[in-house]
Amino acid sequence: MAQSPLVFHIDVNSAFLSWESVCRLTEDPEALDLRTIPSAVGGDAASRHGIVLAKSTPAKKYGVTTGEPLVQALRKCPGLCVVPSRFDVYIHYSTLLMNLLSDYTPDIEKFSIDEAFLDMSSTIHLFGDPWTTANQIRERICRELGFTVNIGIAPNKLLAKMASDFRKPDMCHTLFLDEIPEKMWPLPIRELFFVGRSAQNKLEGIGIHTIGQLAACNVELLKPILGEKYAIQIHDYACGIDPSPVAEREPINKGYGNSTTLSRDVDDLDTAFTVLLSLCETVGARLRADHVICDCVCVEIKDWDFHVQSHQTTLNSPTDSTTVLYENACRLLKEFWDRTPLRLIGVRATKISDDEFSQISLFESEQSKKMKEMEKAVDQIRSKFGTDIIKRASFLKKDSIVDHAASKQKHLSHSALKEDEKGSEGGGSGKVRDYKRGWNETY
């Protein structure tokens, strides 16, 4: 008998702030629980620089939003308690969460540092009915790990993710096919996964304001406005259709990417170049670790208004060199950035091939050869003793925006790269990630 598809989506409530609170309480049981007061993670309260990476429920009542400048958040809530981010702490608690979830199914897709999809289709019979099981998982996470989650229960990933975004915090919600008309279709179009600000404006421009209206619309009318592929995808989503499986393993990399959300807005080249160097170090190290080279480099930026731009170039010859990646990334950034303050910077390496078949240059300088050997030596040292054991001098400045050891990596498949570029045109915003095409964040 065929098993009915069943997917859980686990989403940590205010992850960074929750994990920061749990860590502080573990270190000092008498410490104030940040979750009970207006508080936020991100930036520097003394200098009033940076953005809000996460906020508490009391802070939300003052109108504080994730992603807004810290100075703006402090105007809304002068008593806001701001703490700096500690990604090593968040990685630790994320790992604990994923280990706990593996007790329920081997089929887990880590969607981000604080989210995961669980395919419960073949194991749910071991635990009971879906509702009871989801609540048991939710309660166990709170009891053993000290933080709360929302869990969406549905027949596919799209609906499970939509369900987990219903009322928060510390809740379980279902969204089965027969519940779509009541629970999902009345929601504003912006609430549909993969609909960004640009697509929202286009849809509202033709009178589509709710997910239900999008589902009822003839997809042929959407294609000229949104593009054929994107129109079909979000129309399917509005109808609750998503055939993508929960990925048990990370797909083979056909592209390597690293991006970081900045702790403060960046509007000068020197700081942006420092961030690019950190990103290129990570991408270059991964290329060398996998014994591959790239023939194309792309730089992506997102400004304070969440407008995304990218620019790419084909290299003179394939490379795995951090230095070559960095030089080309800097040139690209100078060519297309107008100095609008940036929230996110990313670097991607594509057109991947095996380094065994790289063309030997007759004109490679001795300095270039020495640089390659140095980069490999640094890789080996970091592999043995940790990424923080050896740093570039530019990363040691007191006010440096780069935390090299905690750089967030996004491993992208070739399809993800193409869809990301297309998604930006089709209406993607900064929050958009297409899990169907392999955006797997690793830390």
Q: Which residues are annotated as a binding site?
A: 11, 114
How many beta carbons lie within 10 A of that of residue 103, not counting itself?
A: 10
Could you give phi then psi for residue 279, rounded to 5 degrees?
-65, -45
Question: In the annotation, is 204 catalytic?
Answer: no
Q: How far apart are CA 58 and CA 67, in angstroms?
A: 17
Of the residues 115, 300, 419, 441, only one is catalytic, namely 115
Omega within 30 of 0 (cis) for the link into 169: yes
Dihedral angle sign, alpha carbons of residues 285, 290, 296, 299: negative
Closest CA to 172 of 5, 7, 10: 10
- Specify the length of the chain in residues: 443
Segments in 217-321 forming alpha helices (H): 219-226, 228-238, 269-289
Q: How many CA atoms lie within 13 A of 308 on its CB side?
A: 22
Residues placed in the known binding site for Mg(2+): 11, 114
Closest CA to 57 of 31, 22, 83, 33: 33
3-state secondary structure of 403: coil
Pairing of the two strands 149-154 and 172-174? parallel
Per the CB < 8 A criterion, the answer to whether 306 and 197 are in contact is yes
Beta bridge partners of 148: none
**Strands across the sheet with 54-55, in order?**
54-55, 39-41, 81-83
- Look up residue 408 and give its amino acid: K
Per the CB < 8 A criterion, the answer to whether 34 and 55 are in contact is no
Question: Exposed/middle/buried for 246, CB within 10 Å: 0-12, 13-18, 19+?
Answer: buried
How open is the CA angle 178-181-183, to the nearest 5 degrees?
90
Could you give phi then psi for residue 383, rounded to 5 degrees?
-65, -35
Taking CA atoms, 262 is separated from 41, 311, 362, 403, 408, in Å, by: 13, 19, 41, 10, 11
Catalytic residues: 115
